[in-house]
Structure 1
């Protein structure tokens, strides 16, 4: 038996590299269609499915569909296999929420205006499901492409190390695909603004807590700090370059850099966010 599907994403890097489709089947299962290389004439990811010679796929317990060329230059489904796909992030938190169970995007909220979304490829602001925390809204980050997993992988790893120390927004849950593969996480959404030189004390305090765990942020900038005026404190985020170290010289140099970092002008792409 077969079922219909919709293409929810597609990926192409170079013509000679795998050409990918991410589909959602009629039975609400994410699956992947993979061609060894791009079909002739393909210059972009095929989000419309114009290169696919079929509109339905077989039902069954499979995750990867192998594509092969047809005589007219399109792609046919030649075989399927049930391959266990690699987690984007290493699971460590007890709570999980599936991607299809996430609440709808919060109306009137643009993630480009959210400081917590700075540097993230995919984000969604949602109303927090009651069983995941007391905060009214949350921010969800996820990515399915293995090529781009490093950022979320590193972030999640550091959230595990700093859990419970008041250093970053609360980690609420892992986000899963098909209720198994971990592809992202959901964080507490804070009402915050960019740091200024007047927030030096707050920034020093949170950075000192991070350093107390033997962790250097590694990519410190004004955008690394989230100033919460209601709670009268600062938080850190964006841990993609963070790492454990026993080198006190590295930690001290980062701490001393605050005097240079905080007076700098904000990134032009975040102008206006200081008022949030």
Structure 2
């Protein structure tokens, strides 16, 4: 059907759905529900359903009452239910400026649609990916045989990649973290993530205390606290080198007492078994675990919906498994850690 908007039209395919966030607002967690599409001209765009709280996932786009969208430079299209069919029609498009990582500092960039498929199960088995949403191991780029990519559709929310990128700029070339290789862009323009050198290794143990102190001291010398001490924040390579890699809670400080407190807490932090955060009430944790066990994984949007609405999103096994398959293609995977099952 015609989408009732003027101008040349282009076909598109539905990539996935994302919601509970405003792509043009860096600090607002509530907002419209989006379809993310790729047009025939290889442009990623968003179709926003404002004023509707989806309780089910339209993973096949069956609620869309059109097959083409306007060609051009728009970023967000506004959808509304048709008074005739009840399905969603495209009312208007806008060149809304979407949230992006800013400022950028590295000369290299790579676009999200130019990345090859990720290594399967990289979130589960690669320490470099753990504790990060949308983080996967990729192939050779910029002189490295293996790389790690992390991105967010709203990179200043949920997992603050603007903060992470800034920290990498401050420690670049000092041997504190894996080498920063490039910014990751959407439509070769909006910066939504980053790529770093791939690195095999294990989490720290109490026996690594001195080496962990050394690398943490380097970070402190730059006026930065790590912010969240735990064994998985340190990568111990096969050659005994120690690197930091989780900077979402890091910040620049001036008070020497903060550095002293973090260094003092390091020894105890390395003794403790890492426990994943438990942000939901027990009944929601149990429901998410049941979905994960039923379907073999958990889509990040189910977590975002539970956080925003305080309840589980209704999703069938068929719908959810299709969502997870799409994530594999697009390079995202998030599994509920086993520790959550005991909540």
Fold agreement, TM-score > 0.5: yes
Q: Which residue of 1 aligns with 2:202?
A: 193
1:12 partnered with 2:19: yes
Q: 2:132 aligns with which of 112, 120, 143?
A: 120
Question: Which residue in 2 is equivalent to 1:31?
Answer: 45
Q: Which has the higher strand share?
A: 1
Change (3 A) 1:147 1:168: closer
Matched residue of 2:260: which SS? helix
User: Comparing both chains, which one has the higher relative contact order based on Cα–Cα distances under 8 Å and sequence gaps of 6 or more?
Assistant: 2
Other-structure match for 1:177: 186
Asked if the contact 1:89–1:152 (Cα under 8 Å) also holds between the matched residues in 2, the reply is no
Q: CA offset at residue 89 of structure 1?
A: 5.1
- Aligned-pair distance for 1:125? 1.3
Q: Name stretches of at least 5 consecutive residues in structure 2 with no aligned partner.
A: 1-7, 22-29, 277-336
Corresponding residue to 2:145 among 133, 136, 151: 136
Corresponding residue number in structure 2 for 1:46: 58
Bigger share in helix: 2
Question: Counterpart of 2:308?
Answer: none
Q: Distance in 1 between matches of 2:19 and 2:190?
A: 22
Q: Which moved more, 1:26-35 or 1:120-129?
A: 120-129
What's the counterpart of residue 269 of structure 2?
261
Question: What is the TM-score of this pair, normalised by structure 1?
Answer: 0.88
Match of residue 75 from structure 1: 88
Residue in 2 that maps onto 1:86: 99
* Displacement after TM superposition at 1:151 (Å): 2.2
- 1:208 is matched with 217
In 2: Cα distance, 1:215 partner to 1:123 partner: 23
Question: Residue 21 of structure 1 corresponds to which residue in structure 2?
Answer: 35
The answer to whether the Cα contact below 8 Å between 1:89 and 1:184 also exists between their aligned partners in 2 is no
Please tell me whether the aligned partners of residues 11 and 45 of structure 1 are also in contact (alpha carbons under 8 angstroms): no
Partner-residue secondary structure (3-state), 2:169: helix
Taking the aligned partners of 1:13 and 1:85, their CA distance within structure 2 comes to 15
Which of residues 101, 105, 108 in structure 1 aligns to 2:114?
A: 101
The answer to which of 163-172 and 173-182 deviates more is 163-172
Residues of 1 paired with 2:218 and 2:234: CA distance?
Answer: 13
Taking a change above 3 Å as real, the CA distance of residues 140 and 166 of structure 1, as seen in their structure-2 partners, is same
Separation (CA, whole Å) in 2 of partners of 1:264 and 1:219: 13
The within-5 A match list for 1:48-67 is 48-67=60-79
CA distance 1:208–1:146, change in 2 (3 Å):
closer
Equivalent residue, structure 2, for 1:239: 247
Structure 1: which 5+ residue stretches go unaligned? 272-276
Q: Deviations over 1:105-145 (max 9, x none)?
A: 23x5532111111121112211122xx13x31001111113
Per-residue CA distance 1:223-272 (angstroms, 9 max, x = gap): 11111132x2211111111111121111011111121011222448489x
Deviation at 1:147?
7.0
Asked if structure 1 preserves the Cα contact closer than 8 Å seen for 2:156 and 2:162, the reply is no
